[in-house]
């Protein structure tokens, strides 16, 4: 059973709110728009602005992935100042149905719909059908999710906050970097190194270890200097990013038994381009001692599609009547 159309679809991150319109079942998404979160005082205002710009009919349903944990009606964003009530949002837009889920749960729901043209393969063998699938993605924060198969061949998404699990070192340099970050933050989560802010943290730690005063760089500056190979500390920071991501991704694949493959989403890895060390990523992904042979055949892909989480949000709304894990307002 499918919830009503037309639909307002959202992918709400720490930096941008992506909106789209879906007029009917199976229809392509229309009027995809990216609005900075700081341009609106609230989620409701951002949605209303998008709908006003369209100047068209009102939606019957809405589905949104948001970059935070969704545990009840009240939702507070992790990496921006927005907070909202799902029920109030639904009422404010006059919706019949409103689904709000974690953004990486929405992205996970899109995975079965992705085509080969939406992906860049970076190692491993072939995915094993009807096996768990893992998903990780550095952006403003670090998203972690996955899909678990059922006996009918369908998948159920995972909703968690794995990006805040403690990150581990794989060599002496990584240990020294994490020691620098522990002095600053106490607990060092995976998100402290695998995010936009994480790139800055890594660069600053490398500079500190090299006895330098770090420059005031943004994540984009670190990326640009690494791509141009114009700053050795930025190059090393991106190498560390590649290494930590492979390590955390391998842990996730082991935890889920993700023989259906691991997908890398989020905005950072595609922007790193050639600076992202796929060889080092796969090395760290596979280097799990006695389980190296288990991990070696697991395929890994970078998601290159521009707005897959919007597709996933709509797919999640379709399966809601069969799923008790995703609360529907």
Helix, strand and coil percent figures for the chain, each rounded to 5: 45, 20, 35
Q: What pLDDT, on the 0 to 100 scale, is given for residue 319?
A: 81
CA 255-257-261 angle, 5° bins: 115
Q: How many Cβ atoms sit within 10 Å of the Cβ of residue 182? A: 12
Q: Is 314 in contact with 9 (CB distance < 8 Å)?
A: yes
Q: What pLDDT, on the 0 to 100 scale, is given for residue 292?
A: 98
Residue 141: φ, ψ to 5°:
-125, -160
The 3-state DSSP class for residue 9 equals: strand
Strand partners, 2: none
| Residue found by looking up tokens 């029920």 in the block | 87
Q: Is 11 in contact with 103 (CB distance < 8 Å)?
A: yes
DSSP for residue 328: B
Q: Is 122 in contact with 302 (CB distance < 8 Å)?
A: yes
List the structure tokens of 296: 């070696």
Residue 18: φ, ψ to 5°:
-100, 130
Q: Is 262 in contact with 298 (CB distance < 8 Å)?
A: yes
Strand ranges (E), the chain: 7-12, 16-22, 30-36, 61-66, 74-76, 83-85, 97-102, 119-121, 133-138, 142-149, 155-157, 262-264, 300-303
List the structure tokens of 182: 């522990």
**Rg of the chain over all Cα atoms, to the nearest angstrom:** 20
Q: What pLDDT, on the 0 to 100 scale, is given for residue 1?
A: 47
DSSP string, 94-131: T-SEEEEEEHHHHHHHHGGG--GGGEEE-S--PPPTTS
d(CA 227, CA 241): 14
Pairing of strands 262-264, 119-121: unpaired
Q: What pLDDT, on the 0 to 100 scale, is given for residue 56?
A: 66
Instruction: Please name each of the domains of the chain with its CATH number.
Output: 7-109+307-322 (3.30.420.40), 115-304 (3.40.367.20)
Residue 68 CB burial class (10 angstroms; 0-12, 13-18, ≥19): buried
CA 246 to chain CA centroid, Å, is: 15
List the structure tokens of 2: 């499918």
For the chain, list residues with pLDDT below 70.
Answer: 1-2, 56, 320-329
């Amino acid at each position: 059973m499918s919830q009503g159309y037309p639909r307002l679809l959202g992918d709400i991150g720490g930096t941008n709110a992506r909106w789209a319109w879906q007029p009917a079942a199976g229809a392509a998404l229309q009027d995809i728009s990216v609005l900075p979160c700081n341009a609106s005082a609230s989620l409701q205002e951002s949605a209303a602005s998008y709908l006003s710009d369209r100047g068209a009919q009102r939606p019957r349903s809405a589905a949104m992935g948001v970059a935070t944990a969704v545990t009840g009606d009240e939702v507070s964003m992790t990496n921006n100042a927005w907070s909202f009530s799902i029920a109030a949002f639904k009422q404010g837009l006059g919706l019949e149905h409103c689904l709000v889920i974690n953004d990486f749960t929405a992205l996970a729901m899109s995975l079965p719909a992705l085509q080969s043209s939406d992906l860049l393969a970076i190692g491993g063998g072939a995915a094993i059908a009807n096996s768990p699938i893992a998903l990780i993605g550095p952006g403003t924060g670090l998203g972690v999710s996955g899909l678990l198969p059922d006996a009918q061949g369908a998948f159920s998404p995972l909703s968690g906050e794995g990006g805040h699990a403690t990150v581990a070192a794989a060599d002496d340099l990584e240990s020294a970097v994490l020691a620098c970050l522990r002095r600053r933050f106490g607990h060092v989560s995976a998100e402290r190194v695998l995010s936009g802010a994480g790139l800055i943290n890594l660069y600053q730690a490398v500079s500190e270890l090299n006895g330098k005063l770090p420059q005031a760089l943004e994540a984009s500056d670190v990326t640009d200097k690494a791509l141009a190979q114009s700053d050795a500390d930025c190059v090393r920071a991106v190498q560390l990013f590649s290494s930590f991501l492979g390590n955390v991704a391998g842990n996730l694949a082991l935890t889920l038994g993700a023989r259906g493959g691991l997908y890398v989403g989020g905005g950072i890895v595609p922007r790193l381009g050639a600076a992202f060390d796929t060889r080092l990523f796969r090395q760290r992904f596979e280097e799990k001692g006695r389980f190296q042979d288990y991990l070696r055949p697991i395929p890994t892909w970078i998601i290159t599609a521009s707005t897959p989480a919007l597709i996933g949000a709509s797919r999640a709304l379709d399966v809601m009547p069969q799923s008790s894990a995703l609360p529907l307002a």
